[in-house]
Amino acid sequence: SLEFVPGPVRGGEYRFEVGTAGSAGLVLQTVLPVLLTAREPSRLVLTGGTHNTSSPPFDFLQRVFLPTIERLGPVCRAQLVRHGFYPAGGGEFHIEIDPVQELGSLDLTQRVDWRVERVRALVAKLPLTIAERELAVSRDLLRVNADRCEAVAIDDSRGPGNVVMIELAAGDCRELTIGFGRRGVPAETVARDACAEAQTLIGSGAPVGEHLADQLLLPLTLGRGGRFATQAVSSHAATNIDTIAAFLKINVTRERRDDGLIEVGLSPAGA
């Protein structure tokens, strides 16, 4: 059996050390929801993996996730101190949170016209030509100008790593599709995978991508709720919905619209 007796939520300064290359971003998403409505501001130092497969890299948190959370009222500032790739880890980033008494609501349901804002390919302790090959594929598939592409050699990482990130913009909305370099996988394949995900999102016109969709669910249930449209509800998102419903009294709706998008709505029971 497990007994959990929570006390009051307190802001302040906290340090979370994963100790391995495990995702520090997932640790942030664990503690962030309660700190968004704490009485005091918070400053977090998180160490571990900052750019991991199967988890949001720092750039996604800074450019996509946290700005969307700020639409609910709080202010969140993020600073990358050191990159941490799997398996070496050793990365670090800082988060400052100015909380609000109550989270507001969110409405991201209108279709958007995405454009490619920029493409960045990072390499750490690997030849820069890997990044250049990824950018060449991205320029060809996405028809993006060279001045919007950047190959970056990272010199602060403990170990080798590679990631290509495609940032999409539509008004004040941002999305990021990501491809991680893997041993034995050509750089061209890594870039093609990231481009394919970007093309799918661009074609759908969805204001919320598949990964952001499941990350927004918990914050929305802790505030006044909201609605968003996405191109697909992943099994991860469906599991999150069922888990949240087991703990909280909420109304969740999922409806496929005429334009092919799925609109998800969350509101407190009785609202």
Separation CA 131–CA 175 (nearest Å): 21
Residues 6+ apart with CB under 8 A from 50: 24, 25, 57, 58, 80, 82, 83, 84, 85, 91, 92, 93
Beta bridge partners of 180: 163
Residues 6+ apart with CB under 8 A from 167: 63, 116, 117, 118, 119, 120, 174, 175, 176
- Judge whether 82 and 19 are in contact, CB under 8 Å: no
AA letter at 40: E
Q: Spot the catalytic one: 51, 94, 211, 236.
A: 236
236 catalytic? Reply is: yes
- Give the active site residues: 236
